Amino acid sequence: MRKEKHSRKTNETDISVQMNVDGSGVSEIDTGIDFFNHMLDQLAKHSLIDLKIKAKGDINIDYHHTVEDVGICLGETLNKCVGDKKGIHRFASVLLPMDDALIQIAIDFSGRPYLFWDVNFPTSKVGNFDTELFSEFFRSFTMNACINLHIKLIHGINSHHIGEAIFKGVAQSLKNALSIDPRKSKIIPSTKGSL
């Protein structure tokens, strides 16, 4: 089973994550940041990954440390969960619309971390959440999950829709890339023999 429990504690944040890649998208998220909880619920829902996250961070300062560190912890947990990547589709790409927003996502479970980010938000905040934190989250997630992730905004005028479309698109991509191809269930999908 592709399941893991993982935690990470610093002077700034204390985070625990429980993940089941082969779940049904059930989530229990408490980061102390309501909008971020809403985004992480989308990530679980549309990836079919069961996700339990408890984060206590210094959100009295701002949300930066908590968002970044949840990204790190989530990435580390995913990297542990996928193991040797036997049988996975490995690649996925998605064009994800949400009302006015259209987001393009491509993912590769290559083992080589790289984030391409081409998203400009029309506003600096969604509610009390700084829109610059979206890229902070996906950078720390990508680097620690050891994945290659490309995220590009095609068009969009509403920052809430743009941010949410990114989370849904990444979720959909994770689901597709991590699903097992029955024709190669015992094979690591690389000519190198490892990923």
d(CA 1, CA 167): 25
Q: How far is the CB of 188 from Mn ion (least distance, A)?
A: 37
Nearer Cβ to Mn ion (72/162): 162
Q: How far is the CB of 3 from Mn ion (least distance, A)?
A: 28
Q: 156-186 b/e with 16+ CB inside 10 Å = b?
A: bebbbbbbbbbbbbbbbbbbbbbeeeeeeee
Q: Which residues, 6 or more positions from 114, have their beta carbon under 8 angstroms from its beta carbon?
A: 142, 148, 149
d(CA 29, CA 38): 8
Nearer Cβ to Mn ion (87/169): 169
Contacts to Mn ion from residues 138-167, by CB under 5 A: 164
Nearer Cβ to Mn ion (4/164): 164
d(CA 19, CA 21): 6
Instruction: Tell me the number of residues near Mn ion by CB under 5 A.
Output: 1
Residue nearest to Mn ion (CB): 164
d(CA 120, CA 109): 26
Q: How far is the CB of 44 from Mn ion (least distance, A)?
A: 14
Contacts to Mn ion from residues 74-93, by CB under 5 A: none
Q: How far is the CB of 39 from Mn ion (least distance, A)?
A: 8
Cβ atoms of 4 and 96 closer than 8 Å: no
Nearer Cβ to Mn ion (126/174): 126
Binding mask 26-45 for Mn ion (x = CB under 5 A): --------------------
Cβ atoms of 74 and 141 closer than 8 Å: yes
Q: How far is the CB of 165 from Mn ion (least distance, A)?
A: 10
Write out the residues near Mn ion by the rule CB under 5 A.
164
